[in-house]
Structure 1
Amino acid sequence: MASKRYTIQTSPFVVPTTDGKIIREHFGGASDGNSQLSIAHMIAPAGWSEPFQTPEFDEYTFIISGKKQFIIENETVILSAGESIKIQKNTRVQYSNPYTEPCHYLAICLPAFSMDLVNRED
Structure 2
Amino acid sequence: MKKTYTIQNNPFVVPTTDGKSIKEHFGNATDGNSAISIAHMKAPAGWSEPFQTPEFDEFTVIIRGKKQFIIEGETIVLEAGQSIKIEKNTRVQYSNPFPEVCEYIAICTPAFSMDLVNREE
Gaps in structure 2 of 5+ consecutive residues: none
Q: Per-residue deviation at 1:49?
A: 0.1
Q: Which amino acid aligns with 2:35?
A: Q
Q: Per-residue deviation at 1:79?
A: 0.1
Over the matched positions of the two proteins, sequence identity in percent amounts to 77
**Which residue does 2:35 correspond to in 1?**
36
Q: Per-residue deviation at 1:106?
A: 0.1
Q: Tell me, what secondary structure is at the counterpart of 1:116?
A: helix
Does residue 117 (structure 1) correspond to residue 112 (structure 2)? The answer is no
Q: How does 1:42-81 map onto structure 2 within 5 Å?
A: 42-81=41-80
Q: Per-residue deviation at 1:11?
A: 0.4
Runs in 1 of length 4+ with deviation above 6 angstroms? none
The whole-number CA distance in structure 2 between the counterparts of 1:11 and 1:98 is: 30
**Which residue does 2:85 correspond to in 1?**
86
Q: Tell me, what secondary structure is at the counterpart of 2:41?
A: strand
Q: Per-residue deviation at 1:58?
A: 0.1
**Which residue does 1:7 correspond to in 2?**
6
If the length of structure 1 is used for normalisation, what is the TM-score? 0.99
Q: Per-residue deviation at 1:50?
A: 0.4
Q: Per-residue deviation at 1:92?
A: 0.1
Q: Per-residue deviation at 1:84?
A: 0.1
Q: Per-residue deviation at 1:102?
A: 0.2
Gaps in structure 1 of 5+ consecutive residues: none
The whole-number CA distance in structure 2 between the counterparts of 1:6 and 1:34 is: 14
**Which residue does 1:101 correspond to in 2?**
100
If the length of structure 2 is used for normalisation, what is the TM-score? 1.00
CA RMSD of aligned residues (A): 0.2
Q: Tell me, what secondary structure is at the counterpart of 2:58?
A: strand
